[in-house]
Amino acid sequence: MEGILVRTLFILQGAFLPFTASISTSKPNIVFIMADDLGWNDVSFHGSDEILTPNIDALAFNGIVLNNLYTQPVCTPSRVALMTGKYPIKLGMQGPPTYGAEPNGLPLSEKLLPEYFKELGYSTRAIGKWHLGFFKQAYTPTRRGFESFLGYYTGYVSYYDYILQDTYQKYGEFNGFDLRRNETIAWDLVGKYATDVFTDEAVRLIKDQPANKPMLLYLAHLAVHSANKGKPLEAPQSEVDKFKHILDPNRRTYAAMVSKLDESVGRVVQALKEKDILENTIIIFMSDNGSPTFDDSGNDFPSHVDVGISPNWGSNFPFRGTKNTLWQGGVKSASFIWASDLQRNRRVSKQLMHITDWLPTLYSAAGGNPAFLPKNLDGLNQWTSLVSNKPSQRKYVLLNIDEKQRYAGIIKDNWKLIIGATKSGTLDGFFGVTRPRVQYNATAVLYSMAGRAVSRLSSGLPHVTIQDVLAARYESVIRCNPSENGTQTRSPCPSGAACLFDLLADPCETVNVAREHVGVSAQLYDMLKYYRRLLIPQTNQPFDPTANPTRYNDTWSSWAY
């Protein structure tokens, strides 16, 4: 509805502004870095003094911090939205993430993001997590528009041995290896740390990329998703030792995992600079959803295990909720976009965006004509809004409708409506509270790998100072009512009833104002009813015992032909 109307007006007005790098008239390279289960409070550009992320911060503060970008509440739906530009409800993919033994995937009738970019002359490369189906080979990344792939098909693996352990009530535990180069099992990488492996591949692809051909690089990290039970968190001990100020051993290891992710970002930016293509590159960083976090004592929060998603000891604070919820902690993504054009207008943005917007936005930035995109996309072209700091093209976001859980949410302007709850409301509190442990080091941001790389671009670009970093960081922090935030362990909404929040006055969802604004609640409820009519029932399938890796040399492999 909104996508069709706004896109038509946007095209008619001629608001089509491709990327224009100052040193090149060629199409921009696009590097899309997706973190997995990273919490809002786990990057220091949002104000956390517990885990410092200097490379991530350097790009964020030299670009646009996207403080109002929403995603889906869990892994597979977020990737569906990114790859198609559509709300998952329109494809039956709005429910739980796809399991290893589940014969399901993103419908083959859908044209995906890399296919659009191949038509624009791009090399298309995928690294890391797929999680969009593999029960038939036709669903795998190299059959869906990516020219190469190094990664895993399932939802997560261990960081050193690349094993996924899935437990099924009817069939028991399935254990299998899941790491491939294209469609060939990559046994030789066993024992190498996943974040390093994926970063090495990204650096190699950047170095080998022909100078006359643009590249779309999709780097979907395993980090910082938890791994298998027994040892859910893994990082090199040398990295863990850097975080002795964190008392909880799980949170300490998690911090090391975040640190390696930050290092990865720095190495990728450095490789782009050494290739002399950084100034003609757009970099996006975001988390696919919020963190499945921990309670205030640092102990495992057991209800996460019930949904098959183990906690990773991340933090969404000061937001309410976790991964698998529609609270801000579940669907507001830690994210930014950097490009040399955007560096001239760096800022902390409150422009409303949704993960579906990336397909038309990047397509436009790459010189594609938005008129050629399908008219039924839900994503909106936000490129001109980002470059020129104009109002967002988006006025509302459908967060999700889960017809089985009877759980839905929508945002319009500053209003957010939530109906129902997930897991009986046990994920609705404030979790993952962290406390300052080290002093923020703005100098380390400027002299990080990424900070040095972007500061050495053409002299026409503005240079960020320590004062700029501190000012932007202060603006990026979400501040809530301290007398209310963190004290509510359950939802302020009556069980199953509609809950309305004014996100401008109450960004942490502490006060239900549905009774005071009956008209607003009714309007948003009508919008949900409209989308409910467009919903395709969830396509999740019963688990198939023939997917057992023991049948395929102990690997997770396509099994249906």
Residues marked active site are found at 75, 131
Pairing, β 148-152 against β 180-181? antiparallel
The owner of tokens 């604004």 is 517
Q: For residue 497, give every residue at least 6 positions away whose Cβ sits within 8 Å of its Cβ, in sequence order, or none.
A: 419, 514
| CA distances, 461 to each of 58, 342, 385, 401 (Å) | 15, 10, 20, 44
Q: Sign of the C-alpha dihedral, residues 401, 326, 94, 383?
A: positive
CB neighbour list of residue 389: distance below 8 Å, 6 or more residues apart: 345, 347, 349
Strand partners, 127: 150, 219
- Measured CA to CA, the distance from residue 249 to residue 268 in angstroms comes to 29
Q: What φ, ψ does residue 320 adopt, rounded to 5°? A: -80, 145
Let me know how long the chain is. Answer: 561
SS3 319: coil
CB 377 within 8 A of CB 360: yes
For 349, the 3-state DSSP assignment is strand
Alpha-carbon distance of 490 to 426, in angstroms, equals 7
The angle at the Cα of 237, spanning 236 to 241, to the nearest 5 degrees, equals 125
Asked if 215 contacts 125 with a C-beta cutoff of 8 angstroms, the reply is yes
Q: How far is CA 235 from CA 265, 268, 291, in A?
A: 17, 19, 18
Q: Closest by alpha carbon to 325, among 404, 414, 396, 420?
A: 420
Distances (CA, A) of 363 to 184, 307, 329, 407: 31, 36, 29, 32
Question: Quick one: tokens of 188?
Answer: 């030789």
CA dist list (Å): 20 to 29, 123, 282: 12, 19, 11
Separation of alpha carbons 500 and 411, rounded Å: 10
Is residue 16 a contact partner of residue 404, using CB atoms and an 8 Å limit? Answer: no
What is the rounded CA–CA span in Å between residue 508 and residue 497? Answer: 19
Q: Which helix (H) or strand (E) holds 125?
A: strand 123-129
The answer to whether the beta carbons of residues 327 and 509 sit under 8 Å apart is: yes
